[in-house]
Amino acid sequence: MSDQDFPTAIQVEHASREQLAKWYRFLLASNKEEQVILDKIAERFKKLGGMTPEISSRIGHGGV
């Protein structure tokens, strides 16, 4: 994922649980600002119930 594809805080707040799961599993932070976004993703994703076997199966392991 390029910098321009990294989600914004607003996108994180409006993302579905499945989208959050994809970001949670596949995004890697390359700077401090991105790490802040990843922390927001993790926090919101966990509040929505986190990973389930069904979500994990749908998003796979190969990338977004």
Q: What is the pLDDT along the chain (64 residues), one digit of tens a residue?
A: 444 589 999 999 999 999 999 999 999 999 999 999 999 999 999 999 999 999 999 999 864 4
Split into its structural domains, the chain has a count of: 1
Instruction: Please report the DSSP string for 3-42 in residue order.
Output: GGGSPPHHHHHH--HHHHHHHHHH----SHHHHHHHHHHH
Q: Is residue 46 part of a domain?
A: yes
Q: Is residue 45 part of a domain?
A: yes
Q: Is residue 63 part of a domain?
A: no
Q: Is residue 52 part of a domain?
A: yes
Q: Which residues contact 30 (CB under 8 A, 6 or more apart)?
A: 3
Q: For residue 42, what are the domain limits?
A: 3-56
Q: Is residue 35 part of a domain?
A: yes
pTM of the model: 0.86
Q: Is residue 38 part of a domain?
A: yes
